[in-house]
Chains A and B, each alone.
Chain A
Amino acid sequence: MFETILAHVDDIVAVTLFVIGFLTLLLHKNMIKKIIGLNIMDTAIFLFLTVQGYITGRKAPILASGEAAAKAEDYINPVPSGLVLTGIVVSVSVTALLLSLTIRMYGKYKSLNIDHILMLVEKEDEG
């Protein structure tokens, strides 16, 4: 059992980070902390993805100049890293969107606390 954990320690760390990030996203009231939680969650997924490509004993798939032509057996799997790049782009866009929402809400309600904002909104609706 212990060997299984040791063999998969990267995956376990990734999932733990994912849960931490998601709970932060869901449970904190401060908008900035929510966005940080979102980023932790996404980073955890990227970690999970990147370790899928690692093969022990091989090097990064970059061809230094002057070297001999590449043989596929010398390098780790480059595909997951490519997928992570796409994921990072998505994560950045979503963070930008949430940050702009936060700026709008702050400008209107002068608060970063989402419960407080909700209370102000409902008061506005009744009035």
Chain B
Amino acid sequence: MLCMISAISAPVLPGKIARKVTLGVFAAVFAMSVTLLGFTCGTDESFVYFMGHFPAPWGNEIRAGSLEAVMAIFVSFIGIFALLGGLEAVLKDVEEKKINLYCVLLDLIMSSLLAMIYTNDLFTAYVFIEINTIASCGLIMIRQNGRNMVTAVRYMVVSLLGSGLFLIGVVMTYSITGHLLMSNIKESVAGLVSSGGYNVALTVVIGLMTVGIAIKSGLYPFHLWIPDAYGYSNVTSSAVLSSIVSKGYIFLLIKIYFRVFGFETVVSTHVLNVVFFFGIVGIIMGSVMAIRERNVRKIIAYSSVAQIGYIYMGIGLGTVAGMVAAVFHILAHGATKSLLFIASADLTERAGATRLDELDCLGRKYRFAALTFSVGALSITGFPLLAGFISKILFTSASIGVGYKMYFAIFALAVSTVLNAVYFLRMVAKLYSTYPEKGGAEVKTQDNVETEKEARAVPAECAEAEGSGDQDVPATRAADNNARWLHRIHYIAILALVAANFYLGLRSKVIVEILEKGFSLFD
């Protein structure tokens, strides 16, 4: 609710104040979610709140348990630091008077995500899905060049198909059960399942909703919009989109599985097998395509495809342990991916190194950015101490004993770890190399003399670039203080995300326990 208020007021305020209001609202949401989490963990129950003080079915309902509180904390945390971290890039890309509109988009996304997390009503979920879609399209378009507009069109086309299918699913659910509120639907569904007449209809409805949300969050066959959308848009937009927007949809899907249909019904319809299969294909194909890619941001975007494949594989396993692993990976991936995008902002924007080959020996010049980027890369590959390791352990332990799915899951985990290592560690190695490879994938020169001159010239370049990148301050005095302050915010944001990664890696037991308890409260 708070986010809606700020979203409405942001266009009226001038640029700077809008930014501060947005940040303040995010921080307030974060604080409230933490209190909520404390409350629900302490009393061990979830509570239901009637909107407008009308009981259902006349009024709407939201429902809050510890799982939703964890997701809300996660969403607001990433929102704050993605905005802070990308603030420099945002101020450069967006004109001064349009900044409040950008904040409107961010506020809308935050409010729709929170609503999707907390809502207990199926049609409200649809409305907020649409709000989310429109606002994220705005985020992609914020840089007004041609490539972004084409990408935004492609994103909208795919996304609208997903919304359409989801809406048909909701409509059919309404016509079968006659209710829109999730708890009521669950009772009716239980009645229908036991009467046994509606099995085909239930399968169709679950399938429609699953496919609709899968299209919107980027499961394998529907992932084609992801590399362009994340790769070319503004840094904050990429971080926000990849970390929290697609995860919001997946969380909604998990919520629908548990609250609307009941987990056993969903498992018995075998929709989860299809999800599992596409998850695995997504993992492998995402990594393979990332290896072939040459643009740094697109590589990170393709690895997003693979990570969403992981999450869907976890959902498709069909056990509560798999779901816990999937939700933990949502948190871990959010922290890691936003860290990667924002740390790569330094490399791609300031150093101008958008292509892979230009990454060579930047590690010495931009020490901070390279170090934090490496932390993110290691986390996705699954190094111990970091978040990615814990999620891989959770996936593996969840997939043991599930029958034939176990072999596929473990195979996919192993292969994808190797593939992830190939392309991420290649980037890290390039960052810290002392001189670039001679004649990598580029044009062959005809003269030997030319090649020798090139090879000799470039190490010299590397050596002279030492130590100056991090303290790059602009020339004019007036912009000096402002730029330095923005720099510091950027660093603090990156450090916060790094800290989140380490926290998830080291103290994960607490979080996993909260997640498990949250799932048991989920009905």
Interface presence of B150 (CB below 8 A) = yes
Q: Which residues of A contact B161 (CB under 8 A)?
A: 22, 25-26, 41
A10 smallest CB distance to B (angstroms): 12
Q: Is the CB of A97 within 8 A of B137?
A: yes
Q: Is the CB of A41 within 8 A of B160?
A: yes
Interface presence of A71 (CB below 8 A) = no
Complex: how many Å from CA A114 to CA B144?
Answer: 17
Complex: how many Å from CA A109 to CA B130?
Answer: 29
Interface presence of B171 (CB below 8 A) = yes
Interface presence of B167 (CB below 8 A) = yes
Question: Do A109 and B160 form a contact, CB below 8 Å, given A52-B171, A83-B123, A87-B167?
Answer: no
Complex: how many Å from CA A98 to CA B171?
Answer: 25
Q: Is the CB of B153 within 8 A of A101?
A: yes
Q: Is the CB of A48 within 8 A of B171?
A: yes
Which of A80, A93, A101, A124 has the most chain B CB atoms closer than 10 A to its own CB?
Answer: A101
Q: Is the CB of B141 within 8 A of A101?
A: yes
Q: Is the CB of B150 within 8 A of A121?
A: yes
Complex: how many Å from CA A120 to CA B150?
Answer: 11
Complex: how many Å from CA A22 to CA B134?
Answer: 18
Complex: how many Å from CA A31 to CA B138?
Answer: 18
B123 — nearest CB in chain A belongs to which residue? A83
Q: Which residues of B contact A117 (CB under 8 A)?
A: 146, 150
Interface presence of A105 (CB below 8 A) = yes
Q: Is the CB of A97 within 8 A of B150?
A: no
Complex: how many Å from CA A42 to CA B137?
Answer: 18
Q: Is the CB of A121 within 8 A of B147?
A: yes
Interface presence of B164 (CB below 8 A) = yes
Interface presence of B383 (CB below 8 A) = no
Question: Do A52 and B174 form a contact, CB below 8 Å, given A109-B146, A114-B150, A117-B150?
Answer: yes
Q: Mark out the residues of chain A between 93 and 127 whose CB falls within 8 Å of any chain B CB in the assembled complex.
A: 93-94, 97-98, 101, 104-105, 108-109, 114, 117-118, 120-121, 124-125
Q: Mark out the residues of chain B between 140 and 168 whose CB falls within 8 Å of any chain A CB in the assembled complex.
A: 141, 144, 146-147, 149-150, 152-153, 156-157, 160-161, 163-164, 167-168
Q: Is the CB of A114 within 8 A of B153?
A: yes
B contacts with A: majority SS: helix
Q: Is the CB of B157 within 8 A of A34?
A: yes
Q: Which residues of A contact B171 (CB under 8 A)?
A: 45, 48-49, 52, 80, 83
Question: Do A94 and B168 form a contact, CB below 8 Å, given A31-B153, A105-B146?
Answer: no
A75 smallest CB distance to B (angstroms): 16
Q: Mark out the residues of chain A between 39 and 82 whose CB falls within 8 Å of any chain B CB in the assembled complex.
A: 41-42, 45, 48-49, 52, 79-80
Q: Mark each residue of chain B from 5 to 33: 1 if its CB lies under 8 Å from any CB of chain A, else 0.
A: 00000000000000000000000000000
Which of A49, A79, A125 interacts with B147 by CB under 8 Å?
Answer: A125
Q: Which residues of A contact B123 (CB under 8 A)?
A: 83, 86
Q: Which residues of B contact A42 (CB under 8 A)?
A: 164
B223 smallest CB distance to A (angstroms): 16
Q: Is the CB of A94 within 8 A of B150?
A: no
Which of A45, A105, A109, A121 interacts with B167 by CB under 8 Å?
Answer: A45
B428 smallest CB distance to A (angstroms): 27
Interface presence of B175 (CB below 8 A) = yes
Q: Is the CB of B127 within 8 A of A108?
A: no
Complex: how many Å from CA A97 to CA B137?
Answer: 9
Nearest 5 A-B pairs (CB), nearest first? A52-B175, A121-B146, A90-B130, A49-B171, A121-B147
Q: A26-B161, A94-B130 known; 4 other A-B pairs, CB under 8 Å?
A: A18-B164, A93-B130, A101-B149, A104-B144
Selected A-B contacts with CB under 8 Å, 30 pairs: A22-B161, A22-B164, A26-B161, A31-B153, A38-B157, A38-B160, A41-B160, A41-B161, A41-B164, A45-B168, A48-B168, A49-B167, A49-B171, A52-B171, A52-B175, A80-B171, A80-B174, A83-B171, A83-B174, A86-B123, A86-B127, A90-B130, A93-B130, A94-B160, A97-B137, A97-B156, A101-B141, A104-B149, A114-B153, A121-B147
